[in-house]
Amino acid sequence: MDIYNFIKSRRTIRKFKQDRLTKEQLAKYIDTARVAPSAANIQPLKYVAVVSREMTEKMFPLVKWAGYLAPMYNPKEGERPTAYVVVCADTTIRKSGYDMDIGAAVENMMLCALADNVGACWMASIDRDGIRKLLDIPETLEISCVVALGYLAETPKEAEVENGDIKYYLGESDTLYVPKRAMSEIVIKTV
Ligand SMILES: Cc1cc2nc3c(=O)[nH]c(=O)nc-3n(C[C@H](O)[C@H](O)[C@H](O)COP(=O)(O)O)c2cc1C
The mean predicted confidence, pLDDT, of the chain is 97
Q: How far is CA 15 from CA 20, 114, 168, in A?
A: 14, 14, 15
15 lines ligand 1 (CB under 6 A): no
- Quick check: CB of 122 below 6 Å from ligand 1? yes
Instruction: Tell me if 178 CB under 6 Å of ligand 1.
Output: yes
The Å distance, Cα 161 to ligand 1 centre, comes to 17
For the chain, the maximum distance between any two Cα atoms, rounded to a whole number of angstroms, is: 55
* pTM beyond 0.95, yes or no: yes
H helix or E strand, kind and range, residue 178:
strand 176-180
Residue-wise pLDDT for 105-151, tens only, equals 999 999 999 999 999 999 999 999 999 999 999 999 999 999 999 99
Ligand 1 atom closest to Cα of residue 14: 11
- Measured CA to CA, the distance from residue 148 to residue 61 in angstroms comes to 12
User: Is cis: bond before 61, omega within 30 of 0?
Assistant: no
Q: What is the pLDDT of residue 123?
A: 98
Q: Which domains are assigned to the chain? A: 3-153 (3.40.109.10), 156-191 (no CATH)
Query: Among candidates 73, 72, 109, 105, which has minimal Cα distance to 89?
Result: 105
